[in-house]
Structure 1
Amino acid sequence: MRNEAFGPEERTPKAWLDWTTERQSLASDPARSAWVSANAGSGKTHVLTQRVIRLLLSGCRPSAILCLTYTKAAASEMSNRIFERLAEWATLDDAALEKRIETIEGTRPSLAKIEEARRLFAKALETPGGLKIQTIHAFSEALLHQFPLEANVAGHFSVLDDRAAAVLLSDARRALLTATAAEDEGELADAFATVLDLADDTGLEKLLEAIVANRAAIQAFLDNAAVKGGREKHLRAALGLASGETAASVMAGAWPLAGLNGAALQRYIELALSLGGVKPGEIAEGLKAAREAADAEERFAGLLGVFFNGGGKPKADSAFFNKAMLAQAPELAPLIEEARKHITTCADRLSIVRMYEATRAALILAERLNRDYEDLKKRRSQLDFEDLINRTAALLSRSDVGAWVHYKLDQGIDHILIDEAQDTSPAQWTIIQALAADFFAGETARANERTIFAVGDEKQSIYSFQGARPERFSRESIQTERRVRAGSKYFSPIRLQLSFRSTVDVLSAVDTVFANPGNAKGLSARSEAIVHASNRIGHPGAVDIWDIIAPEPVSSEEDWTAPFDATPERAPVNILARRIAAVLEDWIGKETVIEKGARRPMRPGDVIVLVRKRDAFVNALTRALKRRGNIPVAGADRLVLTNHIAIQDLLALGRFVLLPEDDLSLAALLKSPLVDLGEDDVFELAARRAEGESLWRRLQQLGAEESSRYHRVVRMLAGYGELARNLLPHDFYARVLGANGGRRAFLARLGSEVSDILDEFLTFALDHERSGLPGLQAFVSTLEIEAPTVKREQDKERDEVRVMTVHAAKGLEAPVVFLVDGGGEAFVRQQVSDLRFLEKPQADGSMLGVPVWRAPGSASNSLIAADNERLKRLAEEEYRRLLYVGMTRAADRLIVCGYRGQRQNLDTWHAMVQGTLAHDPKGRATPMVFSAGGEEWTGHAWREARVPVAVPVREDSESKPPATASSLPRALFTPLPPQRRLPRPLAPSGTSVAIDDPEQETIVGSALFAAQTAPKFSMLRGAILHRLLQVLPTIDGAERRDAAERYLSRAVPRWPDTERQALSRAVIEVLEHPDLQPLFGEQSRAEVSVMGTLKLGSQEFAVSGRLDRLAVAGDTVTIADYKTNRQVPASVAEIPTVYRRQLAIYRELLRPLYPGKQFRCVLIFTEGPAVWVLPDPMLDGSLEELATK
C-alpha cells in the first residue's frame, strides 16, 4: 500500500527511489492527464522532458504538443534537453536504443518503435511549427498573429519591450496633463483639480506612477463597471455606499448622538462640569458646542475632538468619567459607549466617502491615461506584454469567434504541458482553461487522446508581484481532475518528494523548520505536512546557523573625514561581509564538494549568497570578497544603471563636454578612471582658483605648458569635446570606451564585472538614437530620468561567487548557499501604495479587484484596515515561501546568517530557523564557535547522524582551484608568437608568374592567351569543348555525334558548319581514343573541384582549381587536363612549363586523399588528339622549380 501524500511505507533509500521512479513514470504516461506537485530538487524538469519524449514515442505529432514555461531560459533548457536526447537516439545501435526506450516506457519496444524513435529527431526538426516549447507570452503573440482579425489587432503588430512601453506611457502622461487645460475637458479638469487639492505635485506624480503600474487591473475594473451601471455606481456598490450617501449626509447624520441625547446629554454635561474635573469638563464643553453649532461640518469636527484623541483613536472611558460621576449616574456609561461607537462609525463612513470621491477622480485620470496609451499603441501597431495575455484570453473567451478559433486550434494542439504552474497568474490560467475547454467533452474528446499536464510546487510560489496566486495551483488541480474524469479519461495527482539535489542534513533542517505550524503558514493550501527525502544518503552535508549580528552602540564622536554616505566598518553589514569573505577564502580550493558522484575542490562558482533585497550588504560583500584574496564575484544580479559608479563617470563626461563650466561634473570626471587624477590633484586645482574662475579654466592655465602634468589631461578633455561635437552619443561613447582606452581603464580599476555594465550603457545609447530625441543633451537627460534597470544573468560557468535575491535564484542550485537575513519585517505598511485594490468576492467565486485611492494624509477606515491585514497575511506567507526556496537551493552546505537594526524583529528568517533548530528535541543542533580571518563568532551546527559512504576524488583539470592574482599562469606573461600569415592564393593555371614576389597577391595568367587565334573565340571554343567532354560520356556511343551536333547548333548557331563539325569531330575522337577509355568509365568524374594548402619551400599557398577529369581504378589515380591549343607539342619535352606545373600541383593536392596509390597525370590536346603522360620526375622537377622562383 502506497501513501500518495507521504511516500512509501518503507522509508529505505531503495524504497524511496522505486516509489519516485514509479511516480515519475506515471506522470510521464502520455495516455493520462496528471497534476504533479514536485518538491525542490525532485526532478520536475526531468519529468516534463520525459513526458514530451513519451508523447512523441506514442505517435503524437510534434506540432500537437504545447509546453508552456515560465521563462525563456526554461524553454531553451527544456528544448535543449529534448533535442539532445533525440539526437543521441538517432545514432544509437538497436540494442542501446531498445534499452533506453524500455527504461522510459517500462516495456520492451518493437522494432517498428525503435525505428520510429530513431526518426524522432528529424521529425521534430522538420515538422512545420515543430515542438512548441515557449513562454505563454510567446504563444499568445503567435496566436494573435494567427488570428489578428478575430482578435481585433493589426496583423503586422510588434511587441513593445519594457523601455519602449515606458516611453509611450510617458507620452500618454504628457497628453493627459495637456488635456486638463482644454475647455471641453470639464470632467477631466475637475478630477485633476480634486487630485491636486488632496495631494501636492509629489502625490500626483506617485498616483500617475501607480496608475501606470496597475493599468491592466484598473481597466479590468472599468470594463466590469461598464456593464454594471457605470463607474460611479459600480464603485459605490463595491465600497458599500448608498447611492445618495455623501460627506454632507454622513456628517449631518452624526447628530443627534445615538444614546447620548436629550436629557441624557444634558445630565452628562451637568455632571461633568460639576464633578468631572479637567478631562470630562473639556468633553462637556465640546458637547455643548456641538449642540449649539448650526453647521454640520463644524459640529462633526467638534465631535471628533470630543471622542477621539490626537492620534485618531477613540478616547478611553477615563476621559469621560471619574469615580464621582459614575457613582452619581452609572446609567450614563453605556450611553457614552453607544455614542462613541456611533461617532466612530460615522468617522469611518466619512473616510470611505472621501476615499470614494478621491478614487472617482483618480479613475477619471486613469481612464484617460489608458485611452491615450491604447491610442498610441494602435497608431504604431504595437502591443505590450500585458496586451498579449489579455487579448489572447479575450479572443479565446469571445462567444462570436471563440468557437472558430477553438476549431482551428483543435487541429493543432492535443497536449498541454505547464511548467512552474504555481507561478501562473489568473489571466494566464484563463488562457489555459480556454485552450483545454474541449479536451474532454464533445466530439474532440472522442477523436483522439488529449491530455493536460501541470507540474509545480505551491511552496515555491514567490512571484505575487507578477500576479501569481499559489492557491490557484490546488484549485486548478481539483477543477481539471473533475473535467478529466467527467470525460472518462485518466487523471493522476502525483507528489514527488525525493530530492536528487540536497543532502540529508539540508533537507532535515528544512522539514524541521516547517514542521512548526507557525512557520508553515501559507506554504500549502491544504496545510499538509512538509516532507522531503534525499537520494544522497551518506553524502556529507552541513547546516550552520550563525548568530544574528546586532549593531554596536553608536559613538558620540563623529569622524568628519569619512564620506557622508559611507557605512562604518563596524556596521553589521560590513562585519557579516568580512566573515563570509574570510570563510570563503578558507574554503575555496581546500574544502570539497560532490559533483556527479565525485569529490572535487570547491570553486567560487559553487557559492551562492542569497538576500531578500538588494541593500548595502550586497556592495559590502562584493568589496570584502575583492579585498580577501581577490575572490571572483559576479556582482549584483540586478542594478539600476545610473547607480553604478562607471555610468556616473560617463554621465559626468557627457555633462562636462556639454558645459565645461560644470565644476562638479569636471571634478568627478578628473577622479574617474578616464582621467585618473588623485584627490590631492583635484584639491590643488579647486582650492587655488581665483574668485569666479571655473575649474576647467584653471586646468587649462596649468596645462598650457607641455611640461605640465596637466597638459595630457587638457588635451584629452579637449579631444573629448571635439568628438562630442562631431559624433552621435553612441559613437562618441564607443570611441571613448574603445579607441581611447576607456573600457580598459574601467576594467583595471573596477574589475571584469564592469564590462557588462558598459555594454548595457552602449546598448541604451544605441536604442536612444533610434527612438529618442537627437543629441548628447537629450541622451544624458533621458538616461538620468529613466534610470533603467539592468538584469544580469548569473552564469555558473564564469566561476564567480553569485550574489542575488531569492527571487532571482529560483530554479538555481549550488553546493554552498549563504542565506542572509537583513532583519527587516515581511510587511511594511508604509510601503503600500496609496492606490490599492480591495478584493471583493463575486457570484462566480472569483475575486474582483476594486481600485481605491487613499489620498496622502487622509484618515484610514475599516476597509483600509481590513485590507492591510490581508496584505500583511499574504506578505508573511510569501516571506515564509521565500525562506523555503532559499533553504532548498543548497545541495551540500547551508549557512543561515544575518544582521539587524537597533530594533529586533522576532519574525525573520533567521529567527524561524534558529528558534526551531536550536531547540530540536533530538539534539541535532549543537552550539558552535565559528572562526575565520582571525575572528570568532557563535552559532549552532546542525548535523544528521549518517553512515559515511566512499566518494571518489576526481583528479582532473576541472577540479583544480582557479588561479588567483597571486598565482597567475606563466603563459599570461609570455609574449605571443608572431601572427601566422594566411596562405597566399595560388591558381594552378597561372603558375608561370614568380611566386616569391611579395607584392604579387595572386598568381594569374592562362595558357589560353598563348594561342594564335583570337582570345574570345578561343575561350568560347575551349568552354564548349570542355562542356561536351563533360556530358557526352554519359550518353550511349552511337548517339554521341548527333547529341554533339544538336548542342552545337543551339549553343553557337552563327558558327560556320565546318567549324562546328570540326569541333564535334575533335570531341568524338577524344572519347573514342583507345588509350583514354578508362578515363571515361564508370569510376571517373568530370569537372572535379579541388582545394587545399600547398607548401613550397618555406611558404604556404592556398590552392583552388578544377580537374577536367579524374578516374580511380585499382591502385591508380588518373588526372587528366584538356588543352585546346591549335599548336600541339611534338614531344613531352616540348610541353609548356605552365602545364607541367599545373598537373604537379593537382597531384600534390590529391596525394593525401589517396595514400598508397600511384598517380598518372595526362595532358590531352584535343587537336589530333594527342595524349601525353607526364612522368613523375618531370612533375617533381616542376615543383622544385616553382619553389625556387
Structure 2
Amino acid sequence: MSGAATVHPLHGNQMRAVDPLDTVWLSASAGTGKTQVLSSRVLRLLLQPGVEPGQILCLTFTKAGATEMAARINGTLAEWVRLSDTELFTRLEAIGARGDGETIARARTLFAAVLDCPGGGLRIDTIHAFSQWLLATFPLEADLIPGSRPMEDRERILLAHQVLVDLLVDAENPLSGDPGLIEALAALSLRHGSDAILPFLLRCASAREAWFGPGSWQAGEMRGHVLRMLGLPGDADAEMLAALCSDAGFDVASLRRCMEINHEWGTKTGLGAVEAISEWLLGAPEQRAASIEGLASVFLTQKDEPKAAKSQEKIDPAYADYAARVVECIRAVRALANLLDLAERLVPALRLGRAFALAWDEAKQREGLIDFDDQIRRAADLLANKEQADWIRYKLDRRFDHILVDEAQDTNAAQWAIIFAMAGEFWAGVGQHEDAMRTLFVVGDYKQAIFRFQGTSPENFRKAADRVRAAMNAAAHNAEVLRGEDGARELVELGLDRSFRTAQTVLDFVDEAIAGIGPGQFGLDRAPERHEGQERPGYVALWRPIGAAAGDEEEDEIADAGDDDGEDKETWISRPERRMADAIAEQVRSWLDEHGPGFTLVKGTRRRAEAGDIMVLVRQRKELAGLIVARLHAAGVPVAGVDRLRLGAPLAVRDLVAALRFAAQPLDDLNLASLLVSPLVGWSQEQLLEHGWREKRVHLWDHLRRSGDPEVGRVLHQLGELLGRADFAPPQELLQWLLVGPWQGRRRLVARLGSEANDPIDELVNATRAYGASATPSLAGFLAWFDAGDGELKREADHAGGLVRVMTVHGSKGLQAPIVILADAAGNPENARPADVDLPDPRDPARRIPLPPVGKHEKLGPILEEVEADKEAAAQEHWRLLYVAMTRAEEALFVGGALGSRDKGMPAPQSWYARLRALFPEAAEVADPVWGARCESGTPAASVTLPSASPELPLAEVLPAWLGRAPAAEPRPPRPLAPSSLGEDDAPDPPFPPGAGRDAARRGTLVHKLLESLPEAVPGERETLARAWLARNAADLDANMREGLLGDALAVIDNPEWAELFAPGSLAEVPVAALVGGQVVAGTIDRLVIGEESVRLVDYKTSRRPPASLDEVPRGILRQMGAYAAALGVTFPGRRVEVALLYTAAPRLITVPGEVLALHKPDLAVPE
C-alpha cells in the first residue's frame, strides 16, 4: 500500500493556467487554490524538456508564502521518487502533464536535479530576498563596498539620529555652514513637534530620485521647483498676488455694485459693508492683498459660506450674482496667498530634507548599510543595463527564462521594475530568430490589494498586465510580418472564482456585500464574477453592536460584567470596547462549553468547534486585540495571543528593562518605583507608598538607603547585587543573571504573568545577543539601542495548534478558519490618521516630492487634489480589506463592533457594519443571549452530541484464547539489549546532502554534553563556561552554529517549568543495567530524578524537526523508552516510573504515560 497523499486534480482554468507554454495573467479570488496552481505550474515547467531548475524564478509576497511553496514542490518531487509508475501516472495526470514513459523517467530525476541546482535549489524568494541575494552576489557591479549588509530597523533610527546631529553641527560652522538648515529645523519643530521631524526627513531620504540624477532638485533652484509643484509659475511672488487685487485682476465692477446696493439698503450692516468695501477699493493693490480678509468678512461667514442677502436682493435681484463673482475673486486671492505662504514654508523644509537625504546616502555608503529601498532600487539598476545583465547571467551560469509572481496586486512600481528588467525582452526577438521558450506567470487579485501603507497600489497590477499584453501583441504582429505566420502566443488572461474552502452561504453574502456597497467602491471597473463555493451548511451573523441601545437591560448586563475588578478595568480603552471584548469571550466560551450545545462544523466529519477553529480579526493592531486575548484567557479559552507584538510592550520585558535601567541610572524615581512593584521585587502598591513616601527633592533611591526597615533592607541588598554587577557584566550576561541568578526573574515573571511571558523574555535575550554582535556591549549603549526602535515579536499564526487566533486582517492574509469573528466592524474609517502627502514633480510625474504635514487651510490646488485622491484610494482599500476579512471564513462568519462616543448610537455610515446591516431587512433581528439581538443568514448545523461511554460488549466468548495472552518471549540474545538499538520503523526521509547525518550526530553529542555539565555550574556563569567549552571542543564549527547549540542548551536548563530536572540531587548520564524477565537491558539515561515514591527518566532528543505531540513521536523511540522503563522498574521496585522526552530544538517536554509505555515495551517479562 502507498502512503502517498490524497491527489486533488486541477479543474477548468486551474488546468489552463499551468500550461508551461503560455504566459498567463491569473486573477484568483480568495480560497481558489492559488498556491496549488503556482506549485503545479512549477512542476509542469520542470517536466518540460530543456527546462532546468535554475531557469525558474518564483517571487512571493511573504517569507511564509515562499516557504510553503518550496515545501510543496520539494515534497512532491521527493514523493515522485518513491511512487510506483501507476501512482506517478495519476499524479502527473492530476496536474495536466503527460504520463508517458519519458515524462515519468524525467519526473523521477527532478528531486536530485533541484538539489544539484547551483545555489542549492529552486529560486523561491520574496522580492526583497531576491534583491538581497543578487546584490550580495554582485556587490562590485551594484557599486557596494565590501561587507555591505541590510540595515536593521534600530540601526536605521540610530543612524538617522546621528546623521541629523552631524548635519546640524556642520550647519553651525561659521565658515562653511548653512544656518538656514537650523532655522528650518526649528520652524518644523515648532509647527509640528519634534516627533514629526525624523519621519519627514526619512521620507525625503527615501525619495532619492528627487535629489540625485538628471533633473533633480538643487538647493539654489528650490523655490522655483516648489512653486511649479504647487501649480504656480516658477517666478510667482507678492507682485502676482497684488495683480489679482488690481482693478484689472479683480471684478471691481461687481464689487462697486454690491457697495451701491448696501448703501441703498442703508442699515447699520449695509453701511458697515459700504465702509469696508470703500476702504478696500481706496488701497493700492499691495494694500488690497494684505487686507483681503476684511473684504471677505463682508461676503463670507466664519465657516467660509456666503452670507444671506435677502434684503439686498429685494433692492436688486442680481445682488447674489454680483456677490458670487466677488467671492470667487476673494477665494482666488486667498488661495494664491496661502500657496505663496506655503511655498515660503516648504522651501526651507525641503532644503533641509535634501541636505539630510544627501548626508543619509553618504552615511549608508560609509557604514556599508543598505535599506529595503536600496535593495529594490539597486537590484533594478543592476538588471536594467543590458550589457551588465548579460554579464550577470554569465557569471551566475543561469538565466531566468520562467518567472512566476505571487500576490502581484501588492507588488509596487519599484518591484515591477525588477521583474520587467528580467522579463522585458522575453518577447522582443519573436519573429526575428528562434529563441528558447520564455514565460511569465502572474497571479493576483485586485479585490485583495490591502497593503497600500507599504507603498503598493493595485493600479500597478493593471498597468503591468497592459504592458505585458502590449508587448506580446507587438511580438505576435512582428512574427506575422516577418515570417508570415503566427510566431508568438498572446497573453492568456484567466480568472479563478471557485472557492475550495468556503461554504456557499458565506460566499453568497460576500457577493451581496460587493453588489450592495458597489464594485466601484472596491476600485473595480465592473462587477466581479459571482463566487462558487462548497455546498455545505454555512452561517453569517451580525451581532448587535455594543452601545447601540444603551438602555437595553441585556446589553447593560454585558457592559457591567467584570467592571468591579479595579485592576482589570483598562480605563484607557473605551467602555464599549471593553464590553465588546467581554462579550466575545463569553460567546467563544459558550461555543466551547462541553455541557452546552456548542457550535457544529460540517467540513469533513461533523464535529463540535474547538478553540483552534476560531479566528478573531481586527482592522488595526490597537488595544482591542490585546484586550480580547486577555478576556479569552480569563474565561479559560485557549488563546495564542496577538499575532504581532512590539518587543517593548509585554509587561515581562518592561519589568526586565526597568531593572536594567535602574542598573544604569538608580536615581530615576519613576523607573525605580516601577521596578519595586514588579514581580522581580514583589512590593505591593501599599508597600511602595509606605516605604517610598518622602519629602520633596529627595530621590527615591537615596530615601530607601536611609531606611532601617528590614523589608527595605532586603530590597536594598537585592538591588545592591544588581548595581555591583552593572559596571562589569555586558547586557547579555546581566540579563541572564537577572533571569536565572539570585533574582530568579524568569520564574517570578512566569509565576505572575503565565507561561505566555516566556516568548517575550526569550526575544529580549535574543535582542541582547543581537546588540552584542553589532556593537561593543555596554549597558547604556544597549538601552539606547533598545529605545531606538520597536523590535517586533511575531507569532506564526498558521501554527497556533488548537488555540484561538487574534490578529489583524492584514496578518490573516493567506490564512483561514472555520469560524471568523470581525471584532471591530463598527469602526469609522474617516477617523484614520491623515496620510502623508507627496506631490509629483511637474517635469517628471514619476518623481514624488514628500511634504511635511499640511494644515487644513493649506490643502489647496494640487495638494487638495492629492489629498482627495488619497482619500478615495484609502476608502477603496477599506472595502477591499472587508473582502479579505470575510473570505477568511470557511463555514461561519460573525460581525460585531463597539460604537464610539461620536457615533450617537449608530455605526458610522461608511463602517463595515453599517453597510452589511443594510443587506438585511429592518425587522430581521432575532434574540441573542449574549448580544441582545442578531441578524443572520443561513442556518447553523444541528448540534453534535458528545459520545457517551459505551457498555462493554460480551466478546469474550467469540475471541480466541490466545488473544488475551502475551506472545512468548524470544530467546535472550547473546549480548545485553540496548534500548537505543530498538530503532525506528518510520519510512526514511528523502535523501539529504552528504555529511548531513554526521553533522546531526555531532550536534547531538555537543548538546548532550552541555546538558550534562552546565546544571552543575553557577547559573550566572553557565553561558561563559559553555562558550569557552564550545570554543575548545567545537572550534571547527562557525560562530552562529556554536551560538545555536548554546542557545538550545540554555533554553532547556533555564526553563523554570523544568527546574526539578536540573535541581541538586538529579543525576546526569546514568548507566543502568537490569535483568528483565531473563533479558539483560543495559543503557545510559540522560537525566534521572530519584524520589521517595517515583523515579523520573528524561531522554534528550536533538532532532531539528521535533514532534508537536505524543501522537507524532516515532514508535521506535517509544520502544526505547519502554525498555528503559522496564529496567528502572526492576532497579527501583515499588516506585512509580515516569518517562518524558525532552526535544531541545523546540524546546518541548513530552510526557509518555504509563499506558503508552505498556503498549510499546519490548517482549520482556517485566515483574508487576
The TM tier, using the shorter chain, reads 0.7 to 0.9
Return the match for 1:716 from 715, 718, 736: 718
**Aligned residue type for 1:637:** D
Change (3 A) 1:527 1:914: same
CA offsets, 1:318-375, max 9 Å, x none?
A: 3xx552x445555665443322211211211222223233322222212211111111
Does residue 305 (structure 1) correspond to residue 294 (structure 2)? The answer is yes
Change (3 A) 1:754 1:1095: closer
Aligned pairs for 1:543-554 (under 5 A) are 543-550=540-547
Change (3 A) 1:700 1:741: same
Does residue 95 (structure 1) correspond to residue 105 (structure 2)? The answer is no
Displacement, 1:194?
4.3
Aligned pairs for 1:1003-1082 (under 5 A) are none
Q: Which residue of 2 aligns with 1:157?
A: 148
Q: Which residue of 2 aligns with 1:43?
A: 33
Aligned partners of 2:643 and 2:807 also within 8 Å: yes
Q: Which residue of 2 aligns with 1:459?
A: 447
Return the match for 2:174 from 174, 178, 183: 183
Does residue 939 (structure 1) correspond to residue 940 (structure 2)? The answer is no
Q: Which residue of 2 aligns with 1:824?
A: 827
CA distance in 2, matches of 1:278, 1:400: 81
Does residue 837 (structure 1) correspond to residue 825 (structure 2)? The answer is no
Q: Which residue of 2 aligns with 1:379?
A: 366
Structure 1: gaps spanning 5 or more residues: 1-16, 920-924, 957-979, 984-1000, 1002-1092, 1104-1189
Return the match for 1:619 from 622, 626, 636: 626
Q: Identity across aligned pairs (percent)?
A: 31
Does the residue aligned with 1:244 lie in a helix, a strand or coil?
A: coil
Aligned residues: 925
Does residue 572 (structure 1) correspond to residue 576 (structure 2)? The answer is yes
Displacement, 1:981?
13
Does the residue aligned with 2:207 lie in a helix, a strand or coil?
A: helix
Does residue 136 (structure 1) correspond to residue 120 (structure 2)? The answer is no
Displacement, 1:139?
1.6
Does residue 68 (structure 1) correspond to residue 67 (structure 2)? The answer is no
CA distance in 2, matches of 1:199, 1:674: 40
Change (3 A) 1:546 1:155: same
Q: Which residue of 2 aligns with 1:1114?
A: none
Change (3 A) 1:861 1:490: closer
TM-score normalized with structure 2 length: 0.73
Displacement, 1:405?
4.9
Change (3 A) 1:752 1:247: farther
Change (3 A) 1:858 1:194: farther
Displacement, 1:564?
12
RMSD (Å), alpha carbons? 3.8
Aligned partners of 1:611 and 1:806 also within 8 Å: yes
Q: Which residue of 1 aligns with 2:158?
A: 167
**Aligned residue type for 2:909:** L
Aligned partners of 1:440 and 1:483 also within 8 Å: yes
Q: Could you tell which deviates more after superposition, 695-704 or 385-394?
A: 695-704
Q: Which residue of 1 aligns with 2:893?
A: 894
Does the residue aligned with 2:807 lie in a helix, a strand or coil?
A: strand
Aligned partners of 1:287 and 1:303 also within 8 Å: no
Q: Which residue of 1 aligns with 2:273?
A: 283
CA distance in 2, matches of 1:86, 1:589: 44
CA offsets, 1:143-162, max 9 Å, x none?
A: 23344343322354222122
Aligned partners of 1:221 and 1:850 also within 8 Å: no
Aligned partners of 1:359 and 1:854 also within 8 Å: no
Aligned partners of 1:550 and 1:899 also within 8 Å: yes
Does the residue aligned with 1:495 lie in a helix, a strand or coil?
A: strand
Displacement, 1:503?
1.1
Change (3 A) 1:283 1:150: farther
Return the match for 1:537 from 532, 535, 549: 535
Q: Which residue of 2 aligns with 1:1126?
A: none
Displacement, 1:954?
12
CA distance in 2, matches of 1:357, 1:885: 44
Structure 2: gaps spanning 5 or more residues: 1-6, 477-487, 950-976, 981-1011, 1013-1070, 1086-1168
Q: Could you tell which deviates more after superposition, 282-291 or 578-587?
A: 282-291
Change (3 A) 1:787 1:143: closer
Change (3 A) 1:34 1:859: closer
Does residue 680 (structure 1) correspond to residue 690 (structure 2)? The answer is no
CA distance in 1, matches of 2:728, 2:300: 64
Q: Which residue of 1 aligns with 2:526?
A: 527
Does the residue aligned with 1:548 lie in a helix, a strand or coil?
A: coil
CA distance in 1, matches of 2:723, 2:748: 19
Aligned partners of 2:824 and 2:897 also within 8 Å: yes
**Aligned residue type for 1:610:** L
TM-score normalized with structure 1 length: 0.72
Q: Which residue of 1 aligns with 2:753?
A: 750
**Aligned residue type for 1:87:** A
**Aligned residue type for 1:759:** D
Aligned partners of 1:20 and 1:496 also within 8 Å: no
Does residue 469 (structure 1) correspond to residue 468 (structure 2)? The answer is no
CA distance in 2, matches of 1:353, 1:400: 47
Return the match for 2:468 from 463, 468, 480: 480
CA distance in 1, matches of 2:699, 2:856: 45
Q: Which has the larger radius of gyration?
A: 1
Q: Which residue of 2 aligns with 1:492?
A: 492
Does the residue aligned with 1:148 lie in a helix, a strand or coil?
A: coil
Q: Which residue of 2 aligns with 1:1160?
A: none
Does the residue aligned with 2:364 lie in a helix, a strand or coil?
A: helix
Q: Could you tell which deviates more after superposition, 457-466 or 249-258?
A: 249-258
Change (3 A) 1:850 1:510: same
Does the residue aligned with 1:786 lie in a helix, a strand or coil?
A: coil
Aligned partners of 1:251 and 1:350 also within 8 Å: no
CA distance in 2, matches of 1:51, 1:367: 46
CA distance in 2, matches of 1:364, 1:818: 49
CA offsets, 1:103-140, max 9 Å, x none?
A: 22254x22222122111111111121331111111222
CA offsets, 1:262-311, max 9 Å, x none?
A: 7x655644553563534443333333333344582x53232223215898
Change (3 A) 1:855 1:528: closer
Does the residue aligned with 1:253 lie in a helix, a strand or coil?
A: helix
Does the residue aligned with 1:682 lie in a helix, a strand or coil?
A: helix
CA offsets, 1:75-111, max 9 Å, x none?
A: 111101111111111111222112211222254x222
Does the residue aligned with 1:657 lie in a helix, a strand or coil?
A: helix
Aligned pairs for 1:655-804 (under 5 A) are 655-687=661-693, 689=694, 695-696=700-701, 699=704, 708-739=710-741, 740-771=743-774, 774-804=777-807
Displacement, 1:881?
0.3
Does the residue aligned with 2:850 lie in a helix, a strand or coil?
A: strand
Displacement, 1:785?
4.7
**Aligned residue type for 2:460:** R
CA distance in 2, matches of 1:177, 1:770: 30
Does the residue aligned with 1:808 lie in a helix, a strand or coil?
A: coil
CA distance in 1, matches of 2:319, 2:550: 53
Aligned partners of 1:592 and 1:599 also within 8 Å: no
Displacement, 1:377?
1.5
Does residue 581 (structure 1) correspond to residue 581 (structure 2)? The answer is no
Q: Which residue of 1 aligns with 2:816?
A: 813
Aligned partners of 1:505 and 1:943 also within 8 Å: yes
Q: Which residue of 2 aligns with 1:504?
A: 504
CA offsets, 1:763-814, max 9 Å, x none?
A: 3333333445753234334434534443333243443221111111111111
Displacement, 1:575?
1.4
CA distance in 2, matches of 1:773, 1:202: 36
Return the match for 1:245 from 226, 236, 253: 236
**Aligned residue type for 1:585:** R
Aligned partners of 2:827 and 2:899 also within 8 Å: yes
Does residue 610 (structure 1) correspond to residue 614 (structure 2)? The answer is no
**Aligned residue type for 1:942:** S
Aligned partners of 1:290 and 1:300 also within 8 Å: no
Aligned partners of 1:235 and 1:850 also within 8 Å: no
CA distance in 1, matches of 2:281, 2:609: 81
Does the residue aligned with 1:427 lie in a helix, a strand or coil?
A: helix
Change (3 A) 1:135 1:147: same
**Aligned residue type for 2:152:** D
Change (3 A) 1:183 1:333: same
Return the match for 2:116 from 122, 126, 130: 126
